[in-house]
Amino acid sequence: MTLRFLCALGIALGLGFAMTRVSGAADMLHYPTQSAIAESSQLDIVGALDTPLIAPVLEDFHRLNPDISLNYHNLTTLEVYRTFMSGSDGSRADVVMSSAMPWQYQLANNGYAQPLGLDNAEQWPTWARWRQELFGITFEPVVIVYHKDLAERYGAIGSHAELVTLLEREREALTGRVVTYDPARSGAGYTYAVEEARLSPRYWELVAALGGVEADLVGTTQEMLDGLAVGRYLIGYNLLGSYAQGFVAKHPELEIVIPSDYALVMQRLAFLPRSADNPEAARRFFDYLLSEHGQRIISEQTPLGAVHPALKGPGSASALRERLGEALRPIRLGPGLLATLDKLKREALLARWHREFRRPATATNPPTPEETAP
């Protein structure tokens, strides 16, 4: 009953969540057991992480553990959740990874994850784990990407405050040239909105400013990046850093910036389901993923940031912290995430968001009493 209830809740809420997924990427990776090895085991990983990003990690793991036959299924975050809850995928997942933090937290909170009991897991930083069940394995800041033309014309953007100032000052010029997540359509966008609203009431100024320039609202980071690349947009706000980084490297006309006043940090959360068919293989994968070596692969060969505190180089959480200090705001891994999933909370926040977003349009007319009414 509970399961069905959660499913229904998930579908009801999830309809609004557009998924972060790069189109055209292969949906599945398979690493077979080497024929020489007699004893082998299976490992099914379900993740919302595009195959080019995760491939270096899986390849390295497979090189170290050739006896494990590895399957990686790339799904959208909603598909990850639905597949997991229905359990009808045929082969049940042994590792579930997703960037939809509230969903992952909800599953762990309801007891679908099992404790790992690994040394690496015990030593994992407390801010990046919940119990011994849910682990933040990456460290991905949310960034602003802008066209270099913009910097030439109006100066660089380094922070949210500068962005608000710029949007308000150059309202005419930037109308239609700014893009951000639609919180109503994108789960990630909605999560960021909740977190940013929690951080500061000035967030609503930013929303109003975005409304002022009639910013385009889209569903994925990739859409924003594509629009920036073709020059349709000058500023993209709240892009997922891990995707943007690789894209910007290939598009020198774009500039990526981690805001210096505050920067949300998203983490991919992974857990070992209680229903796993191959818990031992899954534990080996976690042992690898949470080890210094595995994290080094993540930091050096993928744009995903590494969490392991021993890593200090570029692409690690420590390096980012050193550079940005207090400004980094990792999304807290705690029961607060459950509030994000609350149906009424979502309606309330979206209502407020759209009200603020439309405020500049109504404000051009003489102020009306309705403005204060809901």
Would you tell me which residues interact with another protein (CB under 8 A)? 1-2, 5, 9, 106, 109-111, 130-131, 194, 198, 332, 334-345, 348-349, 374
* Measured distance CA(323)–CA(325) in Å, rounded: 6
Q: CB-wise, 193 or 311, nearer to another protein?
A: 193
At its nearest, how many Å lie between another protein and the CB of residue 188?
17
Q: CB-wise, 17 or 130, nearer to another protein?
A: 130
Q: CB-wise, 254 or 272, nearer to another protein?
A: 272
Q: CB-wise, 36 or 344, nearer to another protein?
A: 344
Q: CB-wise, 256 or 290, nearer to another protein?
A: 290
At its nearest, how many Å lie between another protein and the CB of residue 9?
8
At its nearest, how many Å lie between another protein and the CB of residue 249?
36
At its nearest, how many Å lie between another protein and the CB of residue 131?
5
At its nearest, how many Å lie between another protein and the CB of residue 373?
12
